[in-house]
Amino acid sequence: MSMSQKLKELLNTHGKPYKEVYFDLENSGFVPKEVVDAMIPYFNQKGYGHPSITHRVGWEALEIIYETKELVAKTIGLSEPENIVFTHSGTEANNLAILGYLLKNKENKGKKIVLSSIEHLSVIFPAQFASDLLGFKTVLVPVDREGFIDPEILKFYIDKDTILVSIQMVNHEIGTIQKLKELIDVVKSINPKAIFHTDAADAYGWISIDVEKLGIDMMTISSHKIHGPRGVGALYIRKGLELEPPLKGQLSVEKLWPGVENVPLIAGFKKAVEIMFSDFSYRVDYVKNLRDKLMYGILNKVPNVLVNGPLNEMRVANNVNLSFLYVEGEALTVELSLNGIYVSSGSACSSRVLEPSHVLLAIGRKHEEAHGSILFKLSHYHSKEDVEYTLNVVPNAVERLRRISSWR
């Protein structure tokens, strides 16, 4: 039986639940109708031409690219849209930032790369690649039990040989909001020439960002993290900073990432940004209230649950990450799925490998605690009824799995 046949059989066996609540926004998510409607004209009505070609449909494509750049720039405190580069994902943007800068400056600029121990794998892997093939040295800064980097500890990792520092603004798994300005000031005070990159994919749309006030040199954002289409990412690059394109090929509008820009998806990204930043404070507060209702509701109803990440205002508004003791996280995702609740377990980017999350291990979780973790990510498309339904399902699902668990 082929894989597609097996999947069809699995779907037919279980059927569709009468209610569905999608919390797996770390991995991907639905694209709302407004965003889809914004994309459709660019497939076959306008702007379907090559954006660097001088004819009307090419100009239309170029127009939406620059309109989107102007909008994104405005949301991060910039007036110059030229500082925004589009890629085809947040992963590509992180690779462009890390490898692009190191390739351009591999001689006489220092050889040390400094990362936090809880970075996204799309930052860790290219840094390791540069260490293996280009002669750089990658070091990981430890975090505390809530995922924070102590500025005093960071000082010991920065020196005159440090060429690049990359620390997330918000952690993608446990929602920790780093005190980024303090960390940037530490780096620049010791080595003003060191470049500071931040992966802000999980911060963008959830916390206020001003790249110039913060002193950020490069910053990554991702479309699908704000209910935009998959296949679009962006990198802010400080004016005057030079990168070498890691990929080679025919260039279009972007000079650092080859290939023709996906104009329909960029149009969708623009609409998603407009939605996320309209009534910004109200939306964030709304989601934060849902998050607290979900998180504290589970803690009140289910014993032996650990919270991964901070419990105060330094936790991003949409993140709930809990470790359910005496339960295998993969089993719980299946159990919840049968009831129409869709979540992720452990590290979203390596869940099929069945390895414990490197983020959870870095904050001191034991392997069995990391394996029992469940990540819920909320958005303004969730309702109070969604959370109440989840609070009715989760305790029963956990209790059933604990009864048959061999971990106790």
349 is catalytic: yes
C-alpha to C-alpha distance for 400 and 338, rounded to whole angstroms: 13
**Bridge partners for 166 per DSSP:** 115, 197
Residue 231 main-chain phi, psi, to 5 deg: 105, 10
User: Which one, of 24, 9, 50, 78, lies nearest residue 345 by Cα?
Assistant: 24
Residue 324 main-chain phi, psi, to 5 deg: -95, 110
**3-state SS string for the chain:** CCHHHHHHHHHHHHCCCCCCEECCCCCCCCCCHHHHHHHCHHHHCCCCCCCCCCCHHHHHHHHHHHHHHHHHHHHCCCCCHHHEEEECCHHHHHHHHHHHHHHHCCCCCCCEEEEECCCCHHHHHHHHHHHHHHCCEEEEECCCCCCCCCHHHHHHHCCCCEEEEECCCECCCCCEECCHHHHHHHHHHHCCCCEEEEECCCCCCCCCCCHHHHCCCEEEEECHHHCCCCCCEEEEECCCCCCCCCCCCCCCCCCCCCCCCCHHHHHHHHHHHHHHHCCHHHHHHHHHHHHHHHHHHHHHHCCCEEECCCCCCCECCCEEEEEECCCCHHHHHHHHHHCCEECEECCHHHHHHCCCCHHHHHCCCCHHHHHCEEEEECCCCCCHHHHHHHHHHHHHHHHHHHHHCCCC
Considering the candidates 158, 170, 290, 349, report the single residue annotated as catalytic.
Answer: 349
User: Which one, of 144, 100, 98, 103, lies nearest residue 120 by Cα?
Assistant: 98
Interhelix angle 263-277/280-301, rounded to 10 degrees, is 80
> Which residues participate in catalysis according to the annotation?
349
